[in-house]
């Protein structure tokens, strides 16, 4: 007698992220939820409609042709190695300032390193100074007590910039000690001889596993909120990634842009073995959608080492402060690195599921190299119920099946009980 089998499809929900907080979820955002990473809701297959095409984000184009075409104008004149020779990414935005702006940047940096609340600067032009202030803020996550704002005053031929401070000097030493302790604990987990890819992946996993998305805290946009309080918004996740990878000598810088709903968002650009990738730990973490998670330890690996073509499906990239290089490499794509990338169906999917399950995995993401193969796999596995045959042939639990599908990245994630 054929046993009763149940397939439950869970769809991902995009939560729009503000640089200073968390935006409201619009009906349109919720309707398009499965196209992006995040939280989960029940889905009835009978109610599914065909995916609708999305308009191109403002300021970018819907990817077509090569990834280089979709990266937008203003490709940076950078060498292929990590960050114009800036091994850990510190100073990336400074590279693209004018000579006068670099001089102001250096004056501001020296004052901050000396613990000063203001700095004498040579320029009396706010227009000239603003790019230097922004570049300094993006380049240096270690100044967790600094706001991305301040006041410029000019009198008697003298100009002074006063920083907007969010933590008084008396509290900084204790807070820095907490940061140092968290960093030391994390670094102790890095195996000797770890590759750049392994370091990037470990940072991504650490942030996803230890931080709860929370935009309400006073320090949610800083490394203190992310690493000590373990509550942060997108800015905190990204600046923590930048700080940790800087400790590991891996190029990582901060990137900003807007979601498709026009809300500010921040993530990272990393370089691995001389190739650039986007990394978004916030959207890799299911907690940012309200705490729901499909299985313990779930992570959305689609946002680890993504290409520009892939990242532009969910956002625009701000290149007004510095050009962001086009990310076209797939060498360190998570799915390719871990034998989870398939160019045919069914291929070795059954064996992969068995190996992953017996190794302790409770979720297995399967990525497909083309839209055609992805659609074929979805239909075969869950409309024709071939998933049960695969699970039974490998002697895996299969009385009921839950799965996630991500049309943007062509990923099907099987969830084990």
Q: Mean pLDDT for each 10-residue chunk of the chain (417 residues)?
A: 47 30 27 28 26 30 33 43 49 94 94 92 83 94 88 83 90 95 97 97 97 93 97 97 96 96 96 97 83 78 96 96 96 95 95 95 95 97 94 88 92 92
Is 293 exposed, middle or buried, given 0-12, 13-18 or 19+ CB atoms closer than 10 A? Answer: middle
Give the per-residue pLDDT at 30. Answer: 24
Give the per-residue pLDDT at 414. Answer: 94
Is 99 exposed, middle or buried, given 0-12, 13-18 or 19+ CB atoms closer than 10 A? Answer: exposed
List residues bridging with 415 in a β-sheet. Answer: 363, 402
Q: What angle (nearest 5°) sits at the alpha carbon of residue 76, between those of residues 96 and 126? A: 25
Tell me which residue of 176, 161, 174 sits closest to 111, measured CA to CA.
Answer: 161
Give the per-residue pLDDT at 10. Answer: 57
Give the per-residue pLDDT at 292. Answer: 61
pTM (two decimals): 0.80
Tokens 């299911």 locate to 286
Q: Which of 2.60.40, 2.60.120, 3.30.1370, 3.40.720 is the CATH number of 94-166? A: 3.30.1370
Give the per-residue pLDDT at 89. Answer: 64
Give the per-residue pLDDT at 123. Answer: 77
């Amino acid at each position: 007698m054929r046993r009763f089998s149940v397939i439950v499809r869970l769809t991902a929900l995009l939560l729009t992220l503000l640089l200073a907080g968390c935006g409201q979820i619009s009906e349109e955002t919720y309707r398009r939820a499965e196209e992006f990473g995040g939280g989960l809701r029940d889905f009835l297959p009978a109610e599914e409609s065909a995916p609708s095409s999305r308009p191109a984000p403002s300021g970018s184009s819907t990817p077509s042709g090569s990834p280089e075409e979709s990266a937008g104008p203003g490709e940076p004149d950078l060498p292929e190695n990590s960050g114009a020779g800036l091994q850990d990414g510190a100073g990336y935005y400074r590279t693209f300032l004018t000579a006068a702006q670099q001089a102001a940047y250096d004056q501001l940096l020296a004052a901050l390193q000396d613990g000063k609340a203001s700095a004498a600067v040579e320029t009396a032009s706010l227009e000239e100074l603003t790019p230097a202030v922004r570049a300094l803020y993006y380049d240096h996550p270690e100044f967790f007590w600094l706001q991305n704002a301040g006041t410029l005053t000019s009198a008697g031929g003298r100009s002074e910039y006063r920083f907007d401070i969010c933590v008084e000097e008396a509290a900084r030493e204790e807070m820095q000690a907490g940061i140092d302790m968290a960093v030391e604990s994390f670094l102790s987990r890095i195996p000797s001889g770890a590759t750049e890819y392994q370091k990037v992946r470990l940072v991504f996993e650490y942030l996803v596993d230890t931080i709860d998305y929370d935009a309400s805290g006073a320090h949610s946009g800083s490394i203190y909120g992310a690493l000590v309080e373990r509550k942060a918004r997108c800015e905190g996740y990204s600046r923590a990634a930048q700080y940790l990878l800087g400790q590991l000598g891996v190029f990582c810088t901060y990137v900003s842009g807007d979601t498709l709903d026009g809300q500010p968002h921040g993530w990272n650009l990393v370089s691995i073995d001389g190739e650039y990738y986007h990394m978004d730990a916030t959207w890799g973490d299911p907690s940012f959608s309200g705490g729901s998670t499909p299985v313990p330890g779930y992570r959305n690996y689609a946002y680890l080492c993504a290409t520009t073509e892939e990242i532009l499906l969910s956002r625009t990239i701000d290149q007004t402060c510095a050009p962001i290089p086009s990310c076209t490499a797939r060498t360190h794509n998570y799915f390719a690195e871990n034998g989870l990338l398939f160019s045919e169906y069914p291929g070795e999917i059954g064996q992969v599921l068995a190996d992953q399950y017996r190794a302790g995995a409770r979720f297995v993401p399967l990525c497909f190299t083309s839209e055609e193969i992805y659609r074929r796999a979805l239909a075969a596995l869950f409309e024709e119920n071939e998933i049960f045959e695969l699970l039974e042939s490998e002697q895996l639990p299969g009385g009921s099946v839950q799965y996630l599908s991500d049309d943007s990245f062509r990923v099907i994630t099987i969830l084990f009980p």
